[in-house]
Amino acid sequence: MIKKTLFSILFLSILTMTYSQSFNTFPVTTQKPPLHGRHWMAITGKPLSATAGAMIFDRGGNAVDAACAMLAAACTMWDVLSWGGETQALIYNPGTGKVIAINALGVAPTGATAEFFKSKGYSYPPEYGPLAAVTPGTPGGLMVMLAEYGTMSLKEVLAPAMQMAEGYPMEAQTAGSIERNKNRIREWPYSAKVFLPHEGEDRAAPSAGEIFVQADLLATLQKLVDAEQQALRKKKSRKEAIYAAYDRFYNGDIGAEFARGCQEQGGLITTDDLKNWQVKIEEPLMTEYRGIEVYKLQQWTQGPVMLQTLNILENFNLKEMGYNSVRYIHTLYQAMNLAYADRDFYYGDPAFPPDEPMKGLLSKEYARERSKLINHDRNDPAVMPGDPYPFEGGSNPFATILHSWQAQARNIYPADDAREYERFLGTFQSGTTSVEAADEEGWVVSVTPSGGWVPACIAGNTGIGMSQRMQSFVLDEKENPYNVVEPGKRPRVTLTPTLAMKDGKPFLSFAKQGGDEQDQLLLQFFLNVVEFGMTVQEACEAPSFKTLQMYSSFGDHEKVAGGLILNNSMPAWVRKELATMGYRLSFQDRTSGPVNAIGFDRLHGSFWGGSSNYGEDYGIGW
């Protein structure tokens, strides 16, 4: 069995031929072949991480076990996240028939107030360094998912990541990122020790293919395994033993060293912050679009914005408009603008008052009223948040702020030169990764983890990079009264996995990397499948477009009103007509994601896997 699986992995890794697959009415030639599996599917943003998932499946694990192994491996590879970041997940439990939401986002530490950051001259919390860090959520998120819904031990699931920490060949993308950011990395001694093994030479970073060793991280992971194994020797259950490891991280010597290392470098995280934080298992939010239930995480993410947009779009015949026609692009763009304006004003941590008006925001009646605001002839660069409170029987506590929002919220245009525009896009599209897993027993997992990416500030001798998620808070309630930074509060993040159900069974599991563009491209992926009959691979590769009219969740929280990124393949007549409608056009070769997805073929009892045709996203099926 092992030899067969390893052969399949090798075969998939060398298969690069163009693959053509017709599905319903929309035949598309794809550059990557779709994946097919009968027993399981593992897709993520890094080839080695996908291999870690395949190893766990091969050893008898379920989709949750495999997803945890992929998450652990990706965190060990640093490019787009690390162990000190945050994890957000949706899990379908075939035993209950329910979708479960995992909230493993860290919180602002003690002392992290709007006044504190303003006193240091910040308009927003910083992008990098110890003051950018919320408490680490990924270790806790991984262990809670594994304990509650997995079948294997922490030792088994962490084995691939621990082998990588002993030394793995670094890929060119990460090696290049470290070299480009070496001057910033030098500001943090624990980071420099890990990332710059050739300090003093022309190239301080590792080279592509060089064996990258992380002794401190390996020691930390070993401590987690030791805590679990000690509990097992005391006759604790598998679940109790995993929580013993959880306790050692957040209440023991690992957390103590993490907090010490953070504070030594000027950060705010305390041991009490770590002890008081906990993973939340929540009810997801859902809307129904043409008979399909679409599930998202709650409003501490931007996930509900896709649900709002679908509610608005249900009032239009998108298929009749034609895929990527001028009418189609304009209608989607305007619907997204309306929903994103609501995101920018109303979304925040539901654990802190006041309550976000999610019932009103997700009501079909509110969506119908918002849809009436769409001007079908021109873009509206001054789109405003709506007032959902009447649609849930209440009154808006921030009506005064709402009415002056456009004038008082930041409305910054990057300078009209290539360098400034690329700087803006660098934060707006800032990457993370995604993890998709499914098995023949019916478990389905969709994860969008992030945080602690290069250049990361490593906390002491833990080998763990701190999150940079604090920057997604605002400091002024005039921008978003629900997302002002407070100690113990979660920032409203862009991270947004998705599950769709049809006839009570999983239909699609999908997620993507890429900052604020995540839900707008996930929306288009979903419509590609549902409205235009594409396979998941076709939908992952099909050219999408991007709106830049919402406020970025990173850096200086800028936006480009009327900003529209089109694929280079877009015909000249479409470009010309959109320009006359008031759009500020720019173009990219690849605009589809990267999206990772699993489709469920109920007719044949199999899985379809899809992954966009650029970046390092990769999948394995069996």
> Tell me, what's the pLDDT at 334?
98
265 and 314 share one domain:
no
43 and 181 share one domain:
yes
Q: Which of 441, 472, 503 is a domain's end point? A: 472
Name the domain count of the chain: 2
288 and 272 share one domain:
no
pLDDT over 60 at 14, yes or no: no
> Tell me, what's the pLDDT at 413?
56
Q: Is residue 330 a part of any domain in this protein?
A: yes
What are 155-196's pLDDT values in tens digits?
999 999 999 999 999 999 899 999 999 999 999 999 999 999
* Domain of 340, in residue numbers: 282-432+493-621
153 and 302 share one domain:
no
80 and 198 share one domain:
yes
SS (H, E, C) 560-603: CCCEEEEECCCCHHHHHHHHHCCCEEEEECCCCCCEEEEEEECC
pLDDT (average), residues 24-45 = 83
Q: Where residue 20 falls among pLDDT bands split at 50, 70, 90?
A: very low
Q: Report the distance separating Cα 389 and Cα 262, nearest Å.
A: 41
In this prediction the pTM is 0.94
Question: Which helix (DSSP H) or strand (DSSP E) does residue 331 occupy?
Answer: helix 326-346
Q: Which of 409, 440, 472 is a domain's end point? A: 472
Q: Which residues contact 379 (CB under 8 A, 6 or more apart)?
A: 330, 333, 334, 549, 562, 581, 582, 583
239 and 376 share one domain:
no
250 and 301 share one domain:
no
Q: Is residue 25 a part of any domain in this protein?
A: no
| CA within 13 Å, CB half, 113 | 5
Residue 588: CB atoms within 10 A of its CB come to: 16
pLDDT (average), residues 105-126 = 98
Q: Is residue 110 a part of any domain in this protein?
A: yes
What are 393-433's pLDDT values in tens digits?
999 999 999 998 865 545 555 556 667 777 777 777 667 88
| Vertex 594 angle, CA 419 and 103, to 5° | 105
pLDDT over 60 at 462, yes or no: yes
Q: Is residue 22 a part of any domain in this protein?
A: no
Residue 380 sits in a domain of what CATH number?
A: 1.10.246.130
44 and 173 share one domain:
yes
Q: Is residue 3 a part of any domain in this protein?
A: no
Question: Which helix (DSSP H) or strand (DSSP E) does residue 370 occupy?
Answer: helix 364-371
Instruction: Extract the tokens encoding 422.
Output: 């690329």
157 and 192 share one domain:
yes
Q: Is residue 242 a part of any domain in this protein?
A: yes
Q: Report the distance separating Cα 38 and Cα 479, nearest Å.
A: 48
191 and 209 share one domain:
yes
What are 484-515's pLDDT values in tens digits?
999 999 999 999 999 999 999 999 999 998 88
Q: Spell out the alpha helix ranges (H) of 446-547.
A: 518-530, 536-541
200 and 61 share one domain:
yes
**Poorest-pLDDT segment among 29-38, 278-287, 570-579:** 29-38
| CA within 13 Å, CB half, 436 | 34
Q: Is residue 91 a part of any domain in this protein?
A: no
64 and 140 share one domain:
yes
Q: Is residue 92 a part of any domain in this protein?
A: no
